[in-house]
Each structure stands twice: as structure tokens, then as C-alpha cells.
Amino acid sequence: MIAEGGLRAAEDAAKRIREEAQRNAEAHLREAILQAKEEAHRLRSEAEREIQQQRSEVQEIERRLMQREENLDRRTEQLDRRQDALDDDVHHLEKDRIEVEEVRKRALGELERMANLSADEARRLVMAQVEQEMSREIALHIRETEQRAKEEAEKRARNIIALAIQRYAADHVAESTVSVVELPS
């Protein structure tokens, strides 16, 4: 009987140990599940924050690009106005040249009459003076006009290149910043 009582006590002790181990295992499992859920929630929140931040950055880039495009449009309009002004300058220069030619002809006639020079001598004299003056004025005006046109063209080219780079960069940023994160449910 004593042996039977010892066996029963051993079985009871083994049963208590099994039940305690079962409770401990269930508690550890609940703790692990809770930690996994918390980690999944943390990862999901972090991913949502990152996605929102990336969206905000992309929106800011798009806003800046729109602003730059509007600036480029304004600059293009300014360039067109300046080109029109340059065309007007060329037109006025041509009118001035015609007027100078008329003055030259009148001066030549007057010079012939007053100096009793031959037509060829008077023509050479006046032509030399007029050509010298006109060449100087025309060269100066052409240099100024070419310089303005060159500066405007370079400025416009830089703006167009910058806009193209920015547009490509926005597409590249949007493609490279969006990522998919798979989260456990």
C-alpha cells in the first residue's frame, strides 16, 4: 500500500508538473503572440509613416516643378518680347541705313556743287566718311544685338535643360521611393 501511495503521489506530482508546464507554455505562447501583434502594428505604422512622408516629398517636388514650369513659361514670354524688340531694332537699323544713304546722296550732290569736284572725287570722299561712320555704328549695334540674343538663348537653353532634368528626376524619385511592405495579419 505504501508503494501504491508513493506511485499515486508521483503520478499527482507528474500531473501537476505537466499542468504547470502547459500553463507556462500557454502563457509564453500568448506573450509571443502579443509581441508579434505589437511588432506587426509597429511595422505597419512605420511603413504608413514612410509612405506618407514619401507622398509628401513627391507632392512637394511636383509643386516645385509646377512653379518652375510657370517661371519657365514667363521667361519664355519675356524672351519672345525681347526677340520682338530685337526685330524692331533691326528694322529701325535698316531704316537708319536707308536714311543715311539718302543723306549721303544729298551731301554728295552738295559737295560736287560747292567744291566743283568731279563726281567721282566727291563720291569717294563722301563715301569714305559715310562708310566709316556707318560701319562703326552698324558693327556696334550688331555686336550688342548678337550679345543680347546669345545671352537670352543660353539662358533659355539652361532653363529647358533644368526642366527636363527635374521632370526626369521626379519620375525617378516616384519610382524609387514607393515600396511595398508585406505585413503579417
Residue 184 lies inside a defined structural domain of this protein: no
Residues in the chain with pLDDT values less than 70: 1-3, 111-115, 117, 170-181, 185
Alpha-carbon distance 138 to 92, whole Å?
11
Domain total in the chain: 1
Residue 87 has what pLDDT? 86
Residue 182 lies inside a defined structural domain of this protein: no
Residue 109 has what pLDDT? 77
Residue 99 lies inside a defined structural domain of this protein: yes
Asked if residue 158 lies in contact with residue 96, where contact means CB atoms within 8 angstroms, the answer is: no
Q: Look up the pTM and report it.
A: 0.38
Residue 95 has what pLDDT? 87
Residue 111 has what pLDDT? 67
Q: Residues near 86 by Cβ (< 8 Å), separated by ≥ 6?
A: 145, 148, 149
Integer CA distances (angstroms), 172 to 9, 46, 55, 58, 169, in order:
74, 23, 14, 10, 5
Q: Both ends of the chain: CA-CA distance in Å?
A: 57
Cα R_g (the chain), whole angstroms: 46
Residue 66 lies inside a defined structural domain of this protein: yes
Residue 185 lies inside a defined structural domain of this protein: no
Residue 73 lies inside a defined structural domain of this protein: yes
In the numeric block, the cell 555686336 is attached to: 143
- Domain span holding position 44: 2-177
Residue 183 lies inside a defined structural domain of this protein: no
Residue 16 lies inside a defined structural domain of this protein: yes
Length of the chain: 185
Residue 92 has what pLDDT? 86
Asked if residue 58 lies in contact with residue 170, where contact means CB atoms within 8 angstroms, the answer is: yes
Residue 50 has what pLDDT? 92
